[in-house]
């Protein structure tokens, strides 16, 4: 099963990508989430999708979509909202909501329309679900500076 990832013009191999299910939901440690998106039904782009980047020993993406698994979407949305105090919220435009862990420094790469997170060992690429979300978040980030 492949989830929507509109920004990718060619395949990118992620270290690990996990589909969120009732069985693995509790393995998401929101203290380790560095970036996540909620795109409710009716949002543009990744409609009905959730995308989470979590840093354990490596970068892991967790994803779900309301059309695949409404229960997982609802439970994950609720858990993100319960942990909202951990994040700085950004408007991703057109109904998309972005959460970046407070204190996290992401470098903006406008050439490749992505963010870079610098870990102790390497830099890790963080792709928004679609280019418009990336551009909206960048506009809001840079207007706060």
Three-class SS of the chain:
CCCCCCCCCCCCCCCCEEECCCCCHHHCCCCCEEEEEEECCCCCCCCCEEEEEEECCCEEEEEEECCCCHHHHHHHHHHHHHCHHHEEEEEEECCEEEEEECCCCEEEECCCCEEEEECCCCEEEECCCCHHHHHHHHHHHHHHC
90 in any annotated domain: yes
Task: Give the residue with greater pLDDT, 56 vs 41.
Answer: 41
Note whether residue 4 is domain-resident.
no
116 found inside a domain:
yes
Instruction: Give the mean pLDDT of the chain.
Output: 88
Question: Is residue 10 scored above 50 in pLDDT?
Answer: no
For the stretch 85-140, pLDDT in tens is 999 999 999 999 999 999 999 999 999 999 998 877 778 889 999 999 999 999 99
Which domain covers residue 59, as residue numbers? 17-144
Average pLDDT score over residue span 67-71: 94
Closest CA to 71 of 22, 2, 17: 22
State the average pLDDT over residues 68-86: 96
Within-domain flag for 103:
yes
102 within a domain of the structure (yes/no): yes
Q: For residue 50, tell me if it sits in a domain.
A: yes
Q: Residue 16's pLDDT band (boundaries 50, 70, 90)?
A: confident
How many structural domains are present in the chain? 1
pLDDT average, residue stretch 28-37: 96
Residue 46 lies in a domain: yes
| Structural domain includes residue 12 | no
């Amino acid at each position: 099963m492949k989830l929507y990832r509109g920004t990718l013009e060619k395949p990118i191999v992620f270290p690990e990508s996990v589909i969120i299910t009732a069985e693995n939901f509790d393995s998401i440690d929101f203290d380790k989430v560095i970036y996540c998106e909620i795109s409710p039904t009716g949002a543009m782009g990744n409609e009905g999708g959730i995308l989470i980047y979590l840093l354990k020993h490596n970068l892991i993406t967790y994803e779900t979509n309301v059309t695949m698994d409404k229960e997982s979407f609802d439970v994950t949305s609720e858990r993100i909202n319960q942990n909202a105090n951990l994040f700085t919220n950004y408007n991703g435009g057109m109904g998309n909501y972005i959460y970046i862990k407070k204190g996290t420094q992401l470098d903006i790469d406008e050439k490749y329309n992505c963010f870079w997170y610098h870990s102790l060992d390497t830099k890790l690429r963080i792709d928004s679900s679609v280019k418009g979300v990336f551009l909206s978040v960048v506009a809001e980030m840079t207007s706060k500076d």
